[in-house]
Amino acid sequence: MEATLYNKEGKKDGTLTLPESVFGLPWNADLVHQVVITMQANARTNVAHVKTRDEVSGGGKKPWKQKGTGRARHGSSRSPIRKGGGITHGPRNTKIFGKSINKKMRTKALLTALSRKFKDGEILFVKDFGLSEPKAKDAKLALTALSKIDGYEALSRKRKNAALIAVPASEKATKLSFRNFGNVEVEEARNLNAVDVLTYKYLVFSNPEEALKVFANASAQK
């Protein structure tokens, strides 16, 4: 299995041999869905919170006496049926939405997503961006050049989640160069997951020979 390798000017710069165990897996919708739902649930921040009748302010005074008024009996001004009272069955920030899933399933879902992305022609392999220092202008030129490759036109047009650039190791200059683009994110290859791969339209591997070693090791352990 081979793929075309490009330079930052968007020109072909050879070919790259890809491992079948990473980019040749069949699509497994059930597995990917389960892993994505679990990861989204674990990332969920529970902030919605209402107060019950024992938490709202007020002394809980009996509004009127039990008998003799002709009105229905009430025992507290903090009752849920009264204005300013507590809320019944409302959202509470004590609820836990987190789920668990084993490491092998997460790894298999990531490799499955990578295989689907490659099959759909949404993975681009770039030899190197050559950013030794943070320069947004050079990053913009590289992105524009890559968007001229057939099938990758949306790299420069898409305003949100256009591309995720995977680098083999922490590259501060590259990360800072693309930081203010709004539609591009830079992440280390070892930190990728199925949600990241599926969220962005394109996945761009910088220095893929080194970056893909992470997935080769992962496929061997699954």
Domain borders along the chain are 2-27+101-221, 45-96
Give the separation between CA 219 and CA 137, rounded to whole angstroms. Answer: 37
Query: At residue 217, does pLDDT exceed 70?
Result: no
Mean pLDDT of the chain: 89
CATH 3.40.50.720: does it fit domain 2-27+101-221? no
Residue 215: the pLDDT is 78
% of residues, the chain, pLDDT over 90: 43
Beta bridge partners of 120: none
Rounded to 5 degrees, what are φ and ψ at 74? -140, 145
Residue 128: the pLDDT is 86
Amino acid identity at 17: T
Residues 6+ apart with CB under 8 A from 161: 183, 199, 200, 201
Name the band, by pLDDT with cuts 50, 70 and 90, for residue 72: very high
Residue 218: the pLDDT is 65
Token pair in block for residue 12: 């072909």
Residue 116: the pLDDT is 94
% of residues, the chain, pLDDT over 70: 97
Residue 65: the pLDDT is 92
Give the separation between CA 46 and CA 204, rounded to whole angstroms. Answer: 33
Torsion of CA 154, 38, 28, 218, to 10 degrees: 90
Segment among 9-18, 78-87, 113-122, 212-221 with least mean pLDDT? 212-221
Total-model pTM = 0.80
Name the band, by pLDDT with cuts 50, 70 and 90, for residue 220: low
pLDDT digits (tens, 9 = 90+) for 181-204: 888 999 999 999 999 999 999 999
Residue 194: the pLDDT is 93
Task: Centre a 10 Å sphere on the Cβ of residue 177 and count the other Cβ atoms it contains.
Answer: 25
Give the separation between CA 199 and CA 194, rounded to whole angstroms. Answer: 8
Residue 106: the pLDDT is 93
Mean pLDDT of 140-165: 89
Residue 125: the pLDDT is 93
Cite the DSSP H helix spans in the chain: 20-23, 29-42, 103-119, 136-146, 154-157, 172-177, 194-199, 208-221
